[in-house]
Amino acid sequence: MTELLTAEGLRLVEVAPPTVPAEQRAAMNRAWDEAVLANPALFDGPVALCAGLSRDAGEGLVVSWSRTTYRYFALRRVPDATALRSLFVSVVQPTDDGRVFVGRMSSSTSAPGRWQFPGGSVEPPTGDEPLDEPALRRHAALELAEETGIATPAAALTRCLVTHGEDGQIGVHYLAPPLPASRLHERFAALAAAETAQGRAPEFDRMALVGSAAQLPDLVGPHVLYLEPVLAWLNRRVGS
């Protein structure tokens, strides 16, 4: 089950990283090494973990987060370990006719074959830069460009939902201005061709435009848990 949350404001608060017992840390490192052997494209870069979600005194949401690296997600493969929760952004890119873009993760990614909106895990800021909503919006715009070829200014993205998955993951979803379907197809094809020409696998190996959650069974492969409820929410929003 995925909880859909709306909020007037979103505040991010950094907290200390979690403590992992030595035995679980060793098992985590082994699981990470095995994952890298299976997929050498994985990298142990910096990532922001979700440490908590709460409401503030008003109508806003407070997300607590910690600095760590991608290998800590391997705790999900360690028996009896507390699986760490990810904080991610995504972009709902609609077309002029009311459909939205979804992409299928390529074999070089951590979830090959999975359909989702453009987006990805949030990375912590460098130096004295804060992790705040403008930073999330910039990250979402970057993910949209890197995965679809669509360059949209961060200021043009509007936060529409926050999702809280049953696995504890927190997603901050932004709505992009609508574009013609033909432009989405053209930009995605150009991006995929450019990545392939440089010997790199694009993050999405396929794209589709879907108009409702009822069309998800037509996609070949699994999809992220939030996709169905967010599409249903969009349909209700358009119909209201």
User: pLDDT value at position 239?
Assistant: 56
Which contacts qualify for 190-193: CB closer than 8 Å, 24 or more apart? Answer: 190/149, 191/147, 191/148, 191/149
Q: Which domains does the chain have, with CATH numbers?
A: 2-239 (3.90.79.10)
Mean pLDDT, the chain, integer: 93
- Residue 91 pLDDT more than 60? yes
What lies within 8 Å, CB to CB, of 59 at 6+ separation is 7, 8, 9
**What was the pLDDT predicted at 27?**
95
Contact by Cβ (8 Å): 207, 182:
no
Percent pLDDT > 90 in the chain is 78
* The pairing of beta strand 10-14 with beta strand 61-69: parallel
Q: Is the pLDDT of residue 54 over 80?
A: yes
What does pTM read for this prediction?
Answer: 0.94
